[in-house]
Structure 1
């Protein structure tokens, strides 16, 4: 209860300070102030209704719109809050100085300066437009990221072998078939030897994938398509009417994987073969720190030669630090997803790479190397809850393996 009250007080301060900015910047335009409060009240009523009817198993499009409206409303106001609160601190110190010096007559606090409010409102449009872009365009702004990795012990027959990794499809969030088909076409244009999908086909229920089966069936790879499960695929966030209903959902998800042409690896391995050589592909079920731990790496890697070249698909990157990098068998490359890069961040190659995801996951996006073992964390193909991406775009990863 105390947390809720503190949150409500914080929200009130955000709106109060934002109103002060509008009041100072537009002293004569009362209609602007009325529009501000009408919009704010509408947003909070809409969000309150959304949270009162929210269940984690129901991440519908309407819930996504509610989240996007809340973000669009609050983030720009936080920019305004920073300016206005900073100005208030300066006003207090100015008032104290003039009072002590005996130069203050009338009100203790100096009036707010109009240009500060105007600057705050102008700068707040930057995140507003960025978020709006992320909702309308960014969530389907697919980009292809290429990596070339060299290994001493890669079989010569696999020199130049290419992998396209996709992750976190979250089919229950899609709302634009044409743009999705563009993403599928872009994957096929990479013409990789294999396609590896590292989990979270759905948000919660297998039925979410039904409208998109024909679209994803178009994925092509000459040496196969392989997949694993992510934490959202198990239906653990849904209140099922019975154990049988949950099992039926799981079985339907397995069937859909087959319909899509994916070989689902559940704590098992498979050999990818070329004439005269092979590499081992390992797939574990979800294993995440703080999430479901269904994965069994020992079982998945059972009976593999210590000398073979190994690629592991494991949905959650925390698995790498907790088990994979110190595993008894040397795993050359681990492919993960899960984080989405929080669908929000700043990435300028060579200068900055930051997302709130970094506060939870030390390895949250891109390529990492530790103890001679590589981890790649895909930023995700789809989106979840917030129906947009700001600065962290949906990713198609192409990895080329080379022999040193």
Structure 2
């Protein structure tokens, strides 16, 4: 309660692919998820996370949902802090299952962040591009992956954001190369990082945390930043995920 929820890990992952354009070689993506702003995660703590992320000088920032712990009163203050995130290629967001949908959808563009739930966009750098999109929450929303994948070719590098990793089995892995998820909190309280009794996933510990590869597609599951239910973590440190793209 007093140590691990505050002990944020910066986790580095390298993604290698011959589909990554040379203009994106070495670009970095920061992924944040599950802030759960509320009594156990104040605006000052969010500001501190934002400062940590900006110090990493990421090229692209992706936000994976559950910005608040269900209380719409915290939405504006949370996005006021998140509006200070800086990345030359932009800051993009999807919703999580705890986000009050109407007020969160209003806040995201108001504070200068681009919403990509069931939307796709091209990220362009020096004439080359990669595809980025997201889907609605697996439990509370609708998933329209074609908004991302209908215009891509096998040569395109495609990234998708889904709050819940349980959507990963439904991803068209012939078109999507990299998927970011949160939701599980890494189990939040685990048996020394090896297994968690509660993951909020239908797949148990399969998609609890880390890097999972299936059928030439990679899923990265973050432990998230905040906590839910109780302000406890045990061998499931909060995480800022940093992905470096590497052309092969």
* Secondary structure, aligned partner of 2:176: coil
> How do 1:36-185 and structure 2 match up within 5 A?
135-185=1-51
* C-alpha distance in structure 2 between counterparts of 1:173 and 1:394, whole Å: 17
Gaps of 5+ in 2: none
Instruction: Say which structure is richer in strand.
Output: 2
- Pair 251,373 (structure 1): closer, same or farther in 2 beyond 3 Å: same
* Mapped pair 1:281 → 2:132: yes
Normalised by the length of structure 2, the TM-score is 0.91
- Structure 1 spans left out of the alignment, 5+ residues: 1-134, 236-249
Which protein shows a greater Rg?
1
> What CA deviation, in whole Å up to 9, does each residue of 1:227-285 have, x standing for no partner?
0011122x4xxxxxxxxxxxxxx332122112332101121100000112000001111
State the distance in 2 between where 1:334 and 1:230 align: 15
Q: CA deviation at 1:292?
A: 2.9
Contact preservation (8 Å) 2:68, 2:78: no
Q: Which has the higher contact order (CA 8 A, sep 6+)?
A: 2
* Deviations, residues 312-359 of structure 1 (Å, cap 9, x unaligned): 1011111112x11xx274211000011012211245xxxx63222467
Q: SS state of the match for residue 295, structure 1?
A: coil
Higher relative helix content: 1
State the TM-score, normalized to the length of structure 1: 0.57
By how many angstroms is 1:308 displaced? 1.2
Which of 181, 184, 194 is matched with 1:353 structurally? Answer: 194
**Which segments of structure 1 move beyond 6 Å, counting only runs of 4 or more?**
none
Within the alignment, does 1:399 sit opposite 2:243 as a pair?
A: yes
Tell me what 1:307 maps to: 155
Shift of 1:203: 1.9
Choose the corresponding residue for 1:330, options 148, 152, 175.
175
Question: RMSD of aligned C-alpha atoms?
Answer: 2.0
Question: How many residue pairs get matched?
Answer: 245
> 1:397/1:136 Cα in 2 relative to 1: closer, same or farther (>3 Å)?
same
